[in-house]
Amino acid sequence: MPAEPVLEVKGLMSSYGATPILTGVDLSIGEGEIVALVGRNGVGKSTTMRCLIGLLRASGGTIHYRGQDVTRMSADERARLGIGYIPQGRDVFPRMTVEENLQVGELIGGGRQRSRMDLVFQYFPILKERRKQVAGTMSGGQQQQLAIGRVLVGGPALILLDEPSEGVQPSIVQLICRVLRSIRDDLNTTILFVEQNLDTILSLAERGYVMEKGRVVARLEPRDVSQEGVRRHLLL
Ligand SMILES: Nc1ncnc2c1ncn2[C@@H]1O[C@H](COP(=O)(O)OP(=O)(O)O)[C@@H](O)[C@H]1O
Ligand SMILES: [Mg+2]
């Protein structure tokens, strides 16, 4: 029997006020997979991520995490179960130092394991170098590494990452993609990421899902993770 999916989403619906945004998102992700959620601006990718972590209520459909129905759980509960979320725009605490940001991450993760701060410093040495620096004064790429590090200290089994390339210079995007791949290889962490940048999708994704107007409309199989395959779906 195939292993139970880490994340299984069926018919997910959500709205902002009276405006329906998600009208049926379906996806399923196995342990240790790296999967992209792609689609043009405004199709509901970030809205999907907010529903998955529990910052936005689902008005229909279900979300199962490792077989457990988490559809109605709070974001805190989901974080404690091992789901880490990095929002679009990163949202590090700008007035806190790198180290203080990471300490907050440890608290959010529920302190289930001994501190992983050293592990984070191994993956992102710049954070160790800058640990006393106030986060708001760092570059976009450094803040993105910090945002990922802040989730990583909680020891997540599933990372939800929204547009890691946004506002990050290309060489650092490539570094972040390499590190995310090592994290998966070393820790078997499952990763679902939203992305519009073709190079980032190609460097990181093993397969993907394509959204249009609030729904998943296609799957990107491993063979579709190519310039032509992704372009066809993104630039129709
Ligand atoms: N806080 C909000 N309130 C109302 N509408 C929103 C809000 N955030 C996003 N939207 C709308 O929901 C739709 C989907 O947005 P979003 O999920 O951010 O798209 P994507 O991440 O794919 O670019 C868009 O039409 C957007 O204008
Ligand atoms: Mg978005």
- Testing ligand 1's pocket by substitution, the residue of 12, 13, 15, 16 carrying the most ligand atoms inside 8 A of its CB is 16
pLDDT of residue 111: 56
pLDDT of residue 113: 55
Look at residue 201 and give its three-state secondary structure. Answer: helix
pLDDT of residue 96: 96
Structure tokens at 3: 């292993």
Q: Residue 206 pLDDT > 60, yes or no? A: yes
Atom 7, ligand 1: residue with shortest CA distance: 16
Look at residue 221 and give its three-state secondary structure. Answer: coil
Look at residue 27 and give its three-state secondary structure. Answer: strand
Domain count of the chain? 1
What confidence tier does 116 reach under pLDDT thresholds 50, 70, 90? Answer: confident
Q: What is the mean pLDDT of residues 80-86?
A: 95
Asked whether residue 40 is assigned to any structural domain, the reply reads yes
Neighbours of ion ligand 2 (CB under 5 A): 45-46, 88
Q: Residue 199 pLDDT > 70, yes or no? A: yes
pLDDT one-digit tens code per residue, 37-48: 999 999 999 999
Cα(103) to ligand 1 centroid in Å equals 31
pTM (2 d.p.) = 0.95
Tell me which residues have their CB closer than 6 angstroms to ligand 1: 16, 21, 39, 41-47
Three state DSSP letters for 159-177: EEEECCCCCCCHHHHHHHH
- Testing ligand 1's pocket by substitution, the residue of 13, 23, 47 carrying the most ligand atoms inside 8 A of its CB is 47
Residue 190's domain is classified under what CATH number? Answer: 3.40.50.300
Q: Where are the beta strands (DSSP E) in 54-132?
A: 60-65, 68-69, 83-86
What percentage of the chain reaches a pLDDT higher than 70?
95
Comparing 108 with 104, the larger pLDDT belongs to: 104
Please provide the DSSP assignment of 37-74 as one string.
Answer: EE--TTSSHHHHHHHHHTSS--SEEEEEETTEE-TT--
Look at residue 26 and give its three-state secondary structure. Answer: strand
Could you list the residue range(s) of the whole structural domain that residue 196 is in? 7-234
Cα(17) to ligand 2 centroid in Å equals 18
Asked whether residue 2 is assigned to any structural domain, the reply reads no
What confidence tier does 91 reach under pLDDT thresholds 50, 70, 90? Answer: confident
Query: At CA 182, angle to CA 34 and CA 115, rounded to 5?
Result: 105
Cα(6) to ligand 2 centroid in Å equals 23
Cα(2) to ligand 2 centroid in Å equals 32
Cα(200) to ligand 1 centroid in Å equals 22
Whose CA is closest to 79, among 114, 52, 102? 52
Residue 20: DSSP 8-state: E
Atom 5, ligand 1: residue with shortest CA distance: 16
Q: Residue 236 pLDDT > 50, yes or no? A: no
Query: At CA 233, angle to CA 229 and CA 236, rounded to 5?
Result: 120
pLDDT one-digit tens code per residue, 168-190: 999 999 999 999 999 999 999 99
Asked whether residue 1 is assigned to any structural domain, the reply reads no
Kindly compute the dihedral angle of the four CA atoms of residues 61, 63, 67, 72, in this order, to the nearest 10 degrees: -90
